[in-house]
């Protein structure tokens, strides 16, 4: 699990932001990233690179991470599960296209309220 700031787990959007900073190294370069028109094809993380959820995003942050991980593993879905980058990749926790911190919370009313509260809290930051 990738952690920052005294073992706080990164949210999916923060994990994307950290990955983008690893990729291009500076905040200025992340802001001016041309990942949507890359020679290698559009980056699945491009819409979320700022660390905020844009209104035009076609994927949720977790689904964008899944797409990036599949791309990183050469299109092999099975390889994503066995990814060896647990300690070096900020996306590793979300590589399977799910958010482990929400596991089991979607089926109950209390769980849905917790999800909405988490979204509202993340939007305020």
Helix (H) or strand (E) holding 96: none
Residue 9 is given by DSSP the state E
Sign of CA dihedral 9, 46, 65, 115: positive
Using pLDDT thresholds of 50, 70 and 90, give the confidence band for residue 66: very high
Exposed/middle/buried for 57, CB within 10 Å: 0-12, 13-18, 19+? middle
Contact 31, 41 (CB under 8 A): no
Judged by DSSP in three states, 82 sits in coil
Show the tokens assigned to 55.
Answer: 């209104």
**Residue that wins the pLDDT comparison between 6 and 31:** 31
**Residue that wins the pLDDT comparison between 125 and 18:** 18
Share of the chain above pLDDT 90, in %: 5
Show the tokens assigned to 59.
Answer: 């994927």
């Amino acid at each position: 699990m990738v952690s920052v700031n005294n073992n706080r787990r990164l949210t999916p959007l923060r994990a994307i932001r950290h990955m983008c900073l690893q990729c291009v190294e500076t905040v200025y370069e992340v802001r001016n990233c041309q990942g949507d028109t890359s020679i290698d094809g559009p980056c699945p993380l491009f819409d979320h690179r700022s660390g905020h959820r844009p209104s035009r995003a076609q994927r949720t942050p977790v689904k964008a991470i899944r797409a990036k991980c599949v791309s990183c593993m050469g299109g092999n879905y099975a390889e994503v599960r066995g990814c060896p980058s647990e300690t070096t990749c900020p996306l590793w926790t979300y590589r399977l296209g799910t958010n482990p911190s929400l596991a089991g919370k979607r089926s109950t009313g209390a769980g849905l309220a917790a999800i909405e509260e988490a979204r509202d809290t993340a939007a305020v930051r």
